[in-house]
């Protein structure tokens, strides 16, 4: 009995050692279901800004396994963002492809998403795509005053780096982006708004 137990333990231990060795090896696929679910969820990109994953955006808040089911939690970016339904479907599909048939996607509205949650990686990806990343989001205390004036932002041109830029439209191809133009090199570019 003791011998059998020891053998069993050593199998578990060996298996674990083997897994540790594999995960230390770059490029190997994670073996644990939670790791696989996280990796699958991390592959989902924003339908409007495909250079960003839901992780880069800070939209993917949690991936967990509850009673054998994968449960992911997402926080929508802009309220009423039409991309949200697509993100949800894409997340479910990606998890299904990874073998998690009955994955659940939960939506968490508090705390509200802020553009500050966009990761450094995400900001680099935006810049790489010629899109100006958001600056520090405004911190609101109490009621928010509605202003019809365009927001003043200190931006630099994504092409030449000049700070001599002007806002051409507060609404770009999507509501979450504003359009700017560089007055030096004339490059028009999009800016992800701070919220
Ligand atoms: Zn420029």
Exposure class string for 130-157: b at 16+ Cβ within 10 A, else e: ebbbbbeeeeeeeeeeeeeeeeeeebeb
35: pLDDT strictly greater than 70: yes
Over residues 47-80, the pLDDT tens digits come to 889 999 999 999 999 999 999 999 999 998 876 6
For residue 63, what are the CA distances in angstroms to 16, 23, 56?
A: 22, 19, 15
Residue 156 in contact with residue 165, Cβ under 8 Å? yes
Same domain, 102 and 164: no
Exposure class string for 175-184: b at 16+ Cβ within 10 A, else e: ebbbbbbbee
Q: Which domain holds residue 186?
A: 130-139+151-192
Number of helices followed by number of strands (H, E) in the chain: 5, 7
The answer to whether position 123 is within a domain reads no
Segment 8-25 mean pLDDT: 38
Q: What CATH number does the domain containing 71 carry?
A: 3.30.300.130
Same domain, 82 and 134: no
What is the distance in A from the centroid of ligand 1 to the CA of 14?
A: 58
The answer to whether position 8 is within a domain reads no
The alpha carbon torsion through 75, 134, 181, 173 (nearest 10 deg) reads: 0
Mean pLDDT of the residues in the chain = 82
Q: Which residues surround ligand 1, an ion (CB under 5 A)?
A: 157, 159-160, 162, 182, 184-185, 187
The answer to whether position 89 is within a domain reads yes
18: pLDDT strictly greater than 60: no
92: pLDDT strictly greater than 70: yes
What is the distance in A from the centroid of ligand 1 to the CA of 101?
A: 48
The answer to whether position 115 is within a domain reads no
The answer to whether position 23 is within a domain reads no
- Interacting residues of 118 by C-beta distance below 8 A, sequence separation 6+: 52, 56, 57, 58, 126, 133, 134, 192
Most confident of 34-43, 82-91, 134-143: 34-43
pLDDT computed for residue 22 by the predictor = 39
The answer to whether position 102 is within a domain reads yes
Same domain, 38 and 103: yes
Number of folded domains in the chain?
2
pLDDT computed for residue 142 by the predictor = 66
The answer to whether position 59 is within a domain reads yes
């Amino acid at each position: 009995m003791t011998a059998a137990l020891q053998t069993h333990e050593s199998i578990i231990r060996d298996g674990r050692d083997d897994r540790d060795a594999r995960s230390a090896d770059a490029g190997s696929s994670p073996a644990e279901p939670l790791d696989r679910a996280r990796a699958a969820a991390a592959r989902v990109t924003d339908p409007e800004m495909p250079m960003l994953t839901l992780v880069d955006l800070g939209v993917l808040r949690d991936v967990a396994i509850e009673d054998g089911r994968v449960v992911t939690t997402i926080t929508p970016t802009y309220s009423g963002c039409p991309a949200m339904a697509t993100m949800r479907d894409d997340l479910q599909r990606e998890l299904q492809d990874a073998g998690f048939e009955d994955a659940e996607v939960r939506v968490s509205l508090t705390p509200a998403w802020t553009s500050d949650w966009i990761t450094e990686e995400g900001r680099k990806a935006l810049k790489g795509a010629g899109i100006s990343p958001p600056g520090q989001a405004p911190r609101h205390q109490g009621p928010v005053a509605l202003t019809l004036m365009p927001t003043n932002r200190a931006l630099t041109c994504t092409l030449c780096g000049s700070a001599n830029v002007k806002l051409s439209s507060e609404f770009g191809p999507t509501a979450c982006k504003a359009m700017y133009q560089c007055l030096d090199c004339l490059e028009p570019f999009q800016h992800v708004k701070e919220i």
